[in-house]
Structures are given as C-alpha cells and as structure tokens.
C-alpha cells in the first residue's frame, strides 16, 4: 500500500484545508457579525466629496456588507442634520463641524459621532467677475501674464475697504455656520487683514457679523452660483463642483483653493448618532468598512478610477453637474480663470495621507476656529478640547473596520496609520497660508497666534 | 361640368352651388374649429417657443426649445428602462446573497428588501399622481359632509364661515412647515406604513383643496329648489333620507364644480410642496434638476413642466367626464 501514501497525505491536507477554511470563514463572520439593521438611508449634499457614499453603493461595497442603502440628496445642511437627529436618515455626509457643534450644543444639541473622515481638501473661494477685475491690479503676475497663486486676501482688502468707504456692505456666502467653508473663508480673509466678524451666542447673536468688514451669510452649496449671479453675494466659499461651475457659467473666478489655505486639510465626515452606533455596532463597523473600501477605490493606482467616479457623480441622483465640470477638479487639475487650468493633483484626496482616519487633532482644529470666532464664547482648557474631540471622533470604530479588512486581505496594514503607536494626533501641521503652525495637542497656544480672532480671556 | 349643374338644377329645383356651399360651409367651419384652429394655435406656440428659446441665453446655455425637450423626454424614458434592468439585477444579487446566508445559517429566514436605486421620472410621475389622488380623496371625505352640514344649517354656517373665509386664501406653502413639524412630532413609528414625506405632501394637499369643496357644496345645498324641500317635508322624510334622496342629487352639479376646482388646486399645490420640502414626486424632480445645474437641466425641467401641465389637463378632463356621468344637469357641466 505504498502508493496510496501520497494520496492519503493529500486527502488529509485537503480535508484539513477544507476544514480550516470552513472554520475560518464563520469565525471572522462571527467576529464581526451580520448587520443588525440592513435597510439604511443616507443623506448627502450635492458636492463631489460625497463620492465615497456613491462609490460604496455603485461598486456594491455596501451590498457586500449585507447593507441595502438608499441615498438621498438633501436640500441644505440644516435639513440633513435634522434628518440624522430625528432618525429619518441613518447617517449622512456631514460638515466636520456639524457633529462637533451638535455634541457641544451649538445650534442643535445631539450626540453625533463620526467613525470615518470623508476626504481632504476639495473647496475653493470664488469671487464675481466684477470683484475679480478690481482685485487683479493688486495681484503679482508671472512672466506669461497669469496671476501668481496662491492669491492672498491682501489683494481683496482694498476692494473691501472701498465698499466700506462707500457705505456698501460686502456680502459673501458660505454654506453653514459651523462649516469648513465658514472657517476657511474666515481664515483666508483674516490672513489678509479683512475681519470676517464674530459670533456671540451668549448674547443671542448667531449671525457672526459683529465687527465685520465682510458680511458672511449662509447659502446652500448648489445655490451658490445662482446667488452670485443674482448679485446677492460678491463671493463665496464652497465645495466642488460649485467653483468650477462658476467658471463654466462665466459668472465668477475661483481665486484660491482650500489646498492653498491649508494643505491637506480635513474636510467632510460621515456622521451617525451615538445611539445608532450603540444600538447597531455591527452595522456601524460594516458601514465604515464599505466606506473605507470606496475611498481606497477612489485613490487607487494614482487616481486611475477617477474618470469612472466622475461619470457616476454626474448622474442626476448624485451631484448631477456636467461630466466636464466635475472632472475639472476631480482628476488632478483646477481651473481658475477661464483657460487658466493648473495642476492640483491633491485637490480631492479620499484615502492617501490617512485621509479617512478620524484624528482627534482634526476635530480640535475645528474647535479652535469656533473659539476664535466666538461660537465658543468662553475660554476652555486644553483638556476640554481633547475630551470633546474624543467624544465625537471615533478611531476605535475605524480601527475595528480596518483590522477586519486587513484580516480578510481586502487591505494591507501599511495603508493605515500604525494603530499600536498613533495617539489620534497628527504631527504639527505647517502648510497654512499665513505660515502659522498648528499643533492639536496645544489648542489654546494655537488660538493665541492669530492677529484677528478672540484671545484667551476675551469675551464679547 | 356645366351640363350636370344645369341638369341637377332642373331636377331638384335647387341651385346646386348654393347647396354645396351650405354643406361645405358647415363641414369647413367644423373642421376649422375642431382641428385646424387648435393645430394652428399649437404650431404658432411651438414656433414662438423655439424662436424665443433661441434668443434667451442663460448661464446654463440656451433656453430649451421643443427639440431639446423631445430629446430629454426620450432620454428620461431610456433612463427608466435602464433603471428597471438595474432593479432586476439588484433582486437577483439579493436572492443569491440570501441563499448563501441560509446555507451558512439555516435559522435565518431570508428577507427581500425593496430596490434602493433612484426613482426615475416615470416613478416620480406615479408618486405625484398617487399623492394628489390620496390627498384629494381625503379632502372629499371631509369637505362634502362638512359642506352639506353647513348648507343645511344656517347656524352652523354662521359659526364656521369666518374660519373658512380666513383659511381659504392661505397659501398652501405656508401650511407646509407646520404640517412637517406636526407630522414629525406625532408620527414616530419605527417601522412606518407610509413615509413621512408622503404624509406631509398629502396633508398639505388636503388642507388646500378642502375649502373650494366646502364652499361649493354648502352653496349647492343651501340653494336647493324650495319645491324639492317641500316635497321632502310632505313625505316626512327622515333627515338621512332627506340628504340621500333630495339634497345630494340636487346639489351634485355644485359639489362636482367644487371638486373640479379643488383637484386643480391640489395638483398645483402638490408640485410646489414637493419642490419646497423635497418630498418625492415631480416637484422634487424639478428642484433636483435645478440644483444639478447640468447642461441638460433646463430641458429636463421644461419636460417636467409640460408633463405637469398635461397631467393637470387630464385630471380636469377626468373630473369633467365624471361630473357629466353623475350629474342630472347636463348644461351645468360645461
């Protein structure tokens, strides 16, 4: 029976392999478990940075997690936030400031968390053609006659001063009081010496126009171009494709991108209520897994999938703008003045540079800006900032999702931050338009560095 | 030619050219009135539309002309077909996934979840139609009995009339925020039978189309011929019989006039409410397209505008036909 030996050996190893695999699969599935809630509705605003949600749906990543997701466009950020709070939506593409402000109780009070940061960069500031003509003489030019970028608000300052002297209000638009866009626009203006105004919620002032040179007000993102065209505002800060749309429509000129204001700044997050995460832990991890896979797909092979992503986003149920308009910023370029198209390979980052990891330091940056502009009316110790950030940003859920993806060989450990050593804080960041360095560990020290903005001990 | 005319003249005693003139006059005027004039009107409108459209430059391109609308109509239909295919694939994938799970976990009872893809233009039309009819029927159920009661009782009329007069001119959209908040507060089932958005649209529609029906019904009931009322008195009909046999038949023309008015209002209100509240339906379609700002958006909105108009027209004709069927007074239903 010598000849049977190799066969028995083979049969044994086969049996072992089969047995082993049949053990492994349920084991990992057991670890994660089936989703407790399978039918979900997610909200979004028509902006290109909602891409991870659209991709997770279209590429079947949600379905592979056993999730049946309906994706609904929302009219504005307020409606979206209310939808998540009252349960009409299970989760949504949110402004990073929304879960933070809600948890803090600025505006609406609700416990909202985020296990997943959606992207880096992706916004721009656009001014109307008329304002651009007035700004142009103040901007240095390159040899070929095109303006030197990044353009600072210094170029806008004389224009705003002229409006002020004539007694005309200088109106600009942003998308929500706690939006990235509000803080970016304020950051840019203040870096150029233009005061964007303070909030004083303790006195009931939530318009944010106290002491303002430029008056900032809220307009929903897709309405920005139409509002600019109507002359209600002279400029705005919004996400894509609404800056490029202004170029295509010939109604405005994007002067600066948020990439130039703060290189690789954290942008939107995926928000769910704390209650949802506690009630449906498996569902929460599975949503995060699908979103991570979508983000990886978006940045894969040096953005090779972007054209396909643009095609998906241009469908009327997602962003709906023309392919060319969306492609302008999503495929590594950005068009400033008509015809002045420049390379900005990192304009929209979805996965590189650990874009999706919810760093506490990202949340704290938003809190520093809320304090700087008076939305947080009183001084808070550094510990307060850190505690609040840890309440909202949930790297623990992200890690559970990432680890299971690594285990299933859908991702490699090298693609994520080193979970054993990282502490939720990015290294001090230096790429700001005014050269100020941000260290998330020391929020109060950071707030002190700004020429315009509330300082410690100051209360309006 | 000449001889036949002369012969015919001799035979009949009539001058044939005159006769021919009379007949052809009738036919021609009928053809002109029923076919040629409407056709000419439509042609003139299309011409005016396409000429004007070419001269309006918006920041999203030229205003859409008839050709662009036709093109979008086809595109929307194709989109619908594609979406149906996707839906089928969705269910197939789901069945496969369910089967896999049952194989692994025999205790699991498979469940089929509804398609999660987007609503197509045709779906939106159906949603709007269902909503408007539900809201309208609910309004009929409230307004007709209320109108009859008001028409029969002068006391009730004096009591309720001021309220009707104040609520009647309220813009439907002013109701919407209130309705939305109240529905959100009261309708909090974790597994709702109908969507909140549907309920919001429905109640807004109902609130707005109640008034014309109440007023018309009340006026119709109050204006019944005294002879009929006397007949009822002589026969000593009980109240319910009186309403059933005398009041209702007598006031049917007015009730239907009210219903026709209401349905017209309901359709307009619904589209506006859908636009404002982003509730599913044609209104949402219009608003989504406006927000998209794509180069097709205006043509798609124009397509929706025409469809909305056409459906409104059909609803009105439908009510008119119904009115003619049930009403004894054929002259009133023009």
Kindly state the tokens that stand for A237: 């800060």
C-alpha span between B215 and B297 (Å, rounded): 41
B131 alpha-carbon distance from chain centroid: 10
Q: Test B113 with A70 for CB contact under 8 angstroms.
A: no
Closest chain A C-alpha to B183 CA, distance in angstroms: 12
| Nearest CB to A38 within list B113, B118, B294 | B113
Q: Which residues of A touch B124 (CB under 8 A)?
A: none
What is the ipTM score, two decimals? Answer: 0.75
| Nearest CB to A321 within list B184, B287, B293 | B293
pLDDT at A371: 93
Residue of A nearest to B108 (CA): A34
pLDDT at A460: 78
H/E element, B92: helix B66-104
Q: Which residues of A touch B297 (CB under 8 A)?
A: 320
| CB B69 within 8 Å of CB B299 | yes
Q: How many alpha carbons fall within 13 Å on the CB side of residue A54?
A: 26
Residue A44's beta-bridge partner residues?
A73
pLDDT at B171: 77
| Nearest CB to A26 within list B59, B104, B293 | B104
pLDDT at A384: 93
Q: Test B294 with A46 for CB contact under 8 angstroms.
A: no
Buried b (16+ CB within 10 A) or exposed e, A236-273: bbbbbbbbbbbbbbebbbbbbbbbbbbbbbbbbbbbbb
List, for residues A366-410, the tens digit of each pLDDT value: 999 999 999 998 889 999 999 999 999 999 999 999 999 999 999
List, for residues A336-350, the tens digit of each pLDDT value: 988 899 988 898 899
**φ and ψ at A74, to 5 degrees?**
-110, 155
pLDDT at A135: 93
Which of A123, A325, A95, A119 shows the shortest CA–CA distance to A240? A123
Q: Test A316 with B94 for CB contact under 8 angstroms.
A: no
Q: Does A73 touch chain B (CB under 8 A)?
A: yes
Residue of B nearest to A72 (CA): B118
pLDDT at B328: 63
C-alpha span between A154 and A161 (Å, rounded): 11
| CB A191 within 8 Å of CB A152 | yes
Q: Does A407 touch chain B (CB under 8 A)?
A: no
Strands A39-44 and A68-73: parallel
Residues of chain B predicted below pLDDT 70: 1-17, 190-191, 327-334
Q: Which residues of B touch A280 (CB under 8 A)?
A: none
Strands A170-174 and A235-239: parallel
Q: Test B116 with A317 for CB contact under 8 angstroms.
A: no
Touching B: A residues 226-255, CB under 8 Å:
226, 229, 245, 249-251
pLDDT at B10: 57
Q: Which residues of B touch A54 (CB under 8 A)?
A: none
Which of A228, A183, A247 shows the shortest CA–CA distance to A433? A183
Q: Test B295 with A322 for CB contact under 8 angstroms.
A: yes
Residue A112's beta-bridge partner residues?
A273
HEC assignment per residue over A108-177:
CCCCEEEEEECCECCEEEEEEHHHHHHHHHHCCECCCCCECCCCCHHHCHHHHHHHHHCCCCEEEEECCC
Residue A216's beta-bridge partner residues?
A172
pLDDT at A307: 94
Closest chain A C-alpha to B189 CA, distance in angstroms: 11
Kindly state the tokens that stand for B102: 């049952």
Residues of chain A predicted below pLDDT 70: 1-31
């Amino acid at each position: 029976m010598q000849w049977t030996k190799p066969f028995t050996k083979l049969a044994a190893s086969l049996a072992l392999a089969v047995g082993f695999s049949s053990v492994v699969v349920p084991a990992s599935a057991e670890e994660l478990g089936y989703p407790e809630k399978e039918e979900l509705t997610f909200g979004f605003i028509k902006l290109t940075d909602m891409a991870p949600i659209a991709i997770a749906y279209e590429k079947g990543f949600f379905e592979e997690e056993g999730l049946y997701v309906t994706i609904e466009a929302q009219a504005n950020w307020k409606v979206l936030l209310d939808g998540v709070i009252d349960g009409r939506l299970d989760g949504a593409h949110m402004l990073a400031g929304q879960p933070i402000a809600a948890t803090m109780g600025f505006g609406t009070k609700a416990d909202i968390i985020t296990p997943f940061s959606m992207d880096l960069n992706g916004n721009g500031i656009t001014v109307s053609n008329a304002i651009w003509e007035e700004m142009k003489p103040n901007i240095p030019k390159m040899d070929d006659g095109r303006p030197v970028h990044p353009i600072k608000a210094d170029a806008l300052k004389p224009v705003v001063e002229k409006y002020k002297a004539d007694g005309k209000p200088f109106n600009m638009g942003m998308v929500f009081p706690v939006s990235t866009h509000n803080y970016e626009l304020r950051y840019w203006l203040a870096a150029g010496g233009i005061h964007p105004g303070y909030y004083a919620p303790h006195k009931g002032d939530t318009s944010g126009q106290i002491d303002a040179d430029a008056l900032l007000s809220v307009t929903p993102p897709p309405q920005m171009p139409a509002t600019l065209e109507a002359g209600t505002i002279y400029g705005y800060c919004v996400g894509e494709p609404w800056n490029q749309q202004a170029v295509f429509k010939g109604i405005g000129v994007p002067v600066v991108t948020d990439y130039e204001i703060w290189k690789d700044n954290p942008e939107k997050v995926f928000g769910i209520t704390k209650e949802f995460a506690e009630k449906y832990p498996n569902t929460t991890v599975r949503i995060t897994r699908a979103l991570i896979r979508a983000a990886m797909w978006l940045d894969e092979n040096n953005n090779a999938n972007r054209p396909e992503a643009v095609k998906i986003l241009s469908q009327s149920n997602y962003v709906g703008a023309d392919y060319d308009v969306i492609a302008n910023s999503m495929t590594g370029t950005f068009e400033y003045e008509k015809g002045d198209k420049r390379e900005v390979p990192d304009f929209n980052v979805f996965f590189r540079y650990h874009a999706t990891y919810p760093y506490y330091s990202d949340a704290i940056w938003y809190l520093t800006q809320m304090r700087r502009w008076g939305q947080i009316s009183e001084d808070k110790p550094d510990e307060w900032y850190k505690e609040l950030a840890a309440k909202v940003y949930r790297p623990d859920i992200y890690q559970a999702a990432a680890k299971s993806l690594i285990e299933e060989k859908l991702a490699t450990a090298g693609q994520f931050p080193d979970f054993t050593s990282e502490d939720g804080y990015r290294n001090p960041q230096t790429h700001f338009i005014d050269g100020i360095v941000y260290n998330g560990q020391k929020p109060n020290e950071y707030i002190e560095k700004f020429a315009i903005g509330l300082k410690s001990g100051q209360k309006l | 030619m000449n001889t036949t005319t002369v012969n015919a003249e001799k035979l009949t005693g009539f001058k044939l050219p005159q006769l021919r003139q009379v007949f052809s006059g009738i036919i021609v005027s009928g053809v002109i009135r029923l076919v040629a004039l409407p056709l000419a009107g439509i042609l003139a409108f299309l011409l005016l539309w396409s000429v004007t459209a070419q001269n309006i430059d918006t920041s999203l391109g030229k205003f859409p002309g008839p050709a662009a609308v036709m093109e979008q109509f086809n595109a929307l239909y194709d989109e619908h077909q594609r979406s149906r295919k996707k839906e089928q694939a969705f269910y197939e994938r789901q069945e496969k996934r369910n089967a896999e799970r049952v194989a692994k976990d025999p205790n699991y009872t498979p469940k089929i979840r509804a398609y999660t893809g987007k609503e197509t233009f045709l779906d939106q039309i159906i949603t709007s139609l269902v909503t408007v009819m539900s809201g309208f029927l609910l309004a009929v159920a409230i307004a007709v009995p209320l109108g009859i009661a008001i028409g029969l009782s002068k006391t009730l009329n004096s009591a309720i009339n001021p309220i009707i007069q104040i609520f009647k001119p309220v813009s439907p959209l002013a109701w919407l925020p209130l309705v939305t908040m109240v529905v959100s507060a009261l309708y909090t089932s974790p597994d709702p039978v109908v969507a909140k958005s549907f309920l919001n649209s429905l109640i807004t529609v109902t609130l707005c189309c109640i008034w014309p029906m109440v007023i018309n019904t009340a006026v119709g009931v109050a204006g019944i011929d005294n002879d009929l009322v006397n007949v009822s008195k002589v026969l000593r009909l009980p109240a319910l019989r009186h309403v059933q046999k005398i009041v209702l038949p007598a006031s049917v023309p007015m009730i239907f006039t009210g219903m026709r008015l209401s349905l017209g209002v309901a359709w307009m209100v619904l589209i506006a409410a859908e636009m404002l509240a982003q509730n599913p339906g044609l209104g949402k379609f219009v608003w989504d397209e406006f927000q998209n700002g794509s180069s097709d958006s205006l043509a798609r909105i124009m397509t929706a505008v025409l469809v909305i108009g056409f459906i409104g027209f059909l609803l009105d004709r439908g009510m008119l036909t119904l009115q003619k069927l049930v009403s004894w007074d054929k002259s009133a239903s023009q």
